Amino acid sequence: MEILSLVIKIVLVVFSVFLIVVVLLQSGAKTGVPGAIGGGAEAMWGKKKARGMEATLVRLTRIAAIGFMVLAVLLVIMQKYWM
């Protein structure tokens, strides 16, 4: 069980670093009042669809975030009940 816990911790660190890198590679949102009003409406109604590299980064962010959360919960459950 110790080896499995160690493997999950290593994979969790890899997911963490990958998630940080993917988030930092994404372009920033508009700032200020015009960006908050106009950008929010565009994001909500889908007028501005992400294409190409931006769509890939969004997809990778979702995958990394879900993987990170699943591994973190799995690690907590393992440590609470099996160790």
pLDDT digits (tens, 9 = 90+) for 2-61: 899 999 999 999 999 999 999 999 987 665 555 556 555 555 555 555 578 899 999 999
The token pair that represents 38 in the structure block:
């106009």
53-75 mean pLDDT: 94
Q: Is the distance from CB of 3 to CB of 76 less than 8 angstroms? A: no
Cα 55 to Cα 37: distance, rounded to the nearest angstrom: 22
Cα 43 to Cα 29: distance, rounded to the nearest angstrom: 10
Cα 44 to Cα 36: distance, rounded to the nearest angstrom: 12
Cα 23 to Cα 83: distance, rounded to the nearest angstrom: 34
pLDDT value of residue 39: 56
